[in-house]
Amino acid sequence: MRGHAQQEHGQGDGAHGDGHTHDHHGHGASGCGGHAVSVEAMIERAERLCQARALQFTRLRRDVLAAVAAEHKPLGAYDIAERMSAPGRRVAAVSVYRALDFLTEQGFVHRISSRNAFVSCGHEHGAGAGLVFLICRTCGGIDEMTAPAVESALDQTLAGAGFTPTSRILEVEGECGACRGRGDAPEAS
């Protein structure tokens, strides 16, 4: 179990009254310990949904999802292929890409464009939900959020421009709260 590092929000208490958006972004996911659902729960859920949607949850798809879900950071297709390969069993990146296409379509993973990499999603947001990814440059961690206010403002702007989006995924780079706390920089807010 890697990647679960110190996700306790142990920086004083209180202090963040205002619009503090972090780990617990009310996606209705239960047992959200820090950033995500366990790998097992993720696989189970994917299996259940595939069954409900009459789709094949092949071993390859399952293994790819497991590899992505086990990692707190976004993984590229080649990294995934490497992780899944064992002596005598090489997994081709092209197969991984195909599985990732499927998993992305089904909403089990998201593609982080700026990294050309993938993260798993244990949330229950709808397919058309506008998402915001907070990408930490220090630890490489990714936090996924929905931001309805941003979304409606963006919708208005797009409508004004006569533009129809096929996706509305925002990626914001910076430093996460945990890293900032570790860097004992004076908290200027």
Q: Which residues bind Zn ion (CB under 5 A)?
A: 121, 123, 136, 138-139, 141, 176, 179
Strand 142-146's sheet: what is its strand order?
Answer: 142-146, 131-136, 169-174
* Cβ 29 vs Cβ 122: under 8 Å: yes
Contact 150, 158 (CB under 8 A): no
In the complex with Zn ion, which residue's Cβ is closer, 22 or 62? Answer: 22
Q: How are the residues of the chain apportioned to helix, strand and coil, as percentages rounded to the nearest 5?
A: 35, 15, 50
Nearest to Zn ion of 92, 174 (CB atom): 174
Tell me the closest approach of the beta carbon of residue 13 to Zn ion, in angstroms. Answer: 21
What's the closest the beta carbon of residue 139 comes to Zn ion, in angstroms?
3
Q: Is 81 or 131 the residue whose CB approaches Zn ion more closely?
A: 131
Token couple for 65 = 């999802």
CB of 138 to Zn ion, least distance (A): 4
Dihedral (CA of 123, 63, 52, 105) sign: positive
CB nearer to Zn ion: give 35 or 81. 35
